[in-house]
Structure formats: C-alpha cells, structure tokens
Amino acid sequence: MRFCLIGYPLRHTLSDKIHESLFKASGRDFVYKIYEVKNLDKQIKNLRDYNGFNITSPYKTEIIKYLDDIDEVARRCNSVNTVLNKNKKLIGYNTDIIGFENSLKFHNIDIFKKNYKVCIIGFGGVARTILYYFLNNNINNINIFIRNISEQKINLIKNYNKNILVEDINKIKNYNLDYDLLINATPVGAFPDIKNSILTSEVLKNIDCIYDLIYNPLVTELMKQGIKAGCRVFNGENMLMWQAIEAQKRWFS
C-alpha cells in the first residue's frame, strides 16, 4: 500500500519519519512519500493512485473541492488533512482536531478555566480547526490576528462567532497581549528561517502559555522569546504525532 504527504514547501516535515515508524510498529511494510506540490490541480489525478494521503499547508482547504466526500468535522472546520481512498472514492477527514486536543492534555493546558482568553495568530487550515475546537468547547474569548486582512476574511471568521476580535497581524504589537494561551499558526520561525519570530519577549510578559505549532526547529525563536518573558512554551511535535496516529486509524479502520 502507498501513502504520501502533499504540500509546499516541505523541507521541514517530519511526517514521513512518523508514519514510517507507525507502520513499522504495527508490522506494516508500506511506503510513505513526500511530494512538494506547487499546483494541486495538476497532481490530483496522481493522488488517486494512493491508498491514502495527508495534506498540509497551503492546501488543507483547497483540497476539499477535489474530494468525493468529507466528514462532519472537516466540513465544519473547512479543513482536511487526511484522505482515504476507499473504493476509488476520496474521503477527507480532519484529524488535526484530535491531535490538538490530545496535545493540550499532554501539556496540561487547562482551557476550561473561567474567562479563558485565547489569541490565535494566522488563519490557515489548522487555525480554523483550532478555532472550531475552542468554540465547540464554549471558549469564546478569542482574538485572531491575520495577514492581508480584508472585509471578506473578517466576515468569514465572524461567521464562526460574531464576538471574535479580528485584527491585522501587523498591529499585534500595539495591543496589550494578555492571554492564557497564545497560538502561532503561521510558518514564521520554521526551518529554514529559524531566526524569525512573530513577537519579542517585551510584549509576551502577560502571556501564560505559548503554543507554537511549528515543530522544526523544536525550539523556535518565538519559544525562546517566551522563555525570556517567563511563559510556558510548547511546540507542535506532539500534535503532529497525534494527528498522524488518528490518520492511520482512518486508513486502516
């Protein structure tokens, strides 16, 4: 059986190592390939030759129009990261949400405290999944900072919840950043641009936890800045592992 990951760029990914380790641990001699895809439309026919595949940035939403069906969570999040080829039909799933939930438990991040405040930076596929997760758990005190802000994007986000504050990412340093949890859902600071950070320690002093979804490097510049400011810091490696486990559950029932 053949499986793969598609996205662009993928120089930073650890998905092949994780999936191959899971295959080996379960006694499966399967292949998992990495494909940097610049044009999804040209590659979708080739993907039908695989038993299943994963999708990462920037295609978690774009992939949906090519699929035959998606599960309810993927539909609500408007984001797919796992596809099963079942009887020549491509079925999309969102396993990021379980990966995120399990990672919160692993890191002992208690989001159910009274008046819990969340800041999400970015609004790609995984950020939409995380937003849906919080709202589904009645966490409504959420601010989102996005790049290339527009009325269309603002309306899209407020369709989730009209009380969400949406702001330009370039203005984030002008705000009093006072949150229980700040999540970086952008690629800023990922390999190879590992010296970049979206924020500095001076503006992080009132943040309890910083969750940088990047996992390569394992300690990002944002995390280093958070440590300087006295924050608890976590990377995205644990979430990546959990979503991969859930993906294989979909592939192998």
Residues recognised as catalytic? 60
* Contact call for residues 236 and 214 (beta carbons, < 8 A): yes
Contacting residues for 77 by C-beta, under 8 A, at least 6 apart: 94, 96, 97, 125, 128, 129, 132
Torsion of CA 131, 134, 135, 140, to 10 degrees: -100
Q: Is residue 21 packed enough to be buried (19+ CB in 10 Å), middle (13-18) or exposed (0-12)?
A: middle
State which H helix or E strand residue 9 sits in. Answer: none
Contacting residues for 68 by C-beta, under 8 A, at least 6 apart: 89, 90, 91
Contacting residues for 115 by C-beta, under 8 A, at least 6 apart: 141
Quick one: which of 91, 97, 100 has its CA closest to 63?
A: 91
Dist. CA 35–CA 43, nearest whole Å: 10
Dist. CA 111–CA 135, nearest whole Å: 11
Quick one: which of 120, 134, 129 has its CA closest to 73?
A: 129
Dist. CA 202–CA 184, nearest whole Å: 17
Q: Is residue 236 packed enough to be buried (19+ CB in 10 Å), middle (13-18) or exposed (0-12)?
A: buried
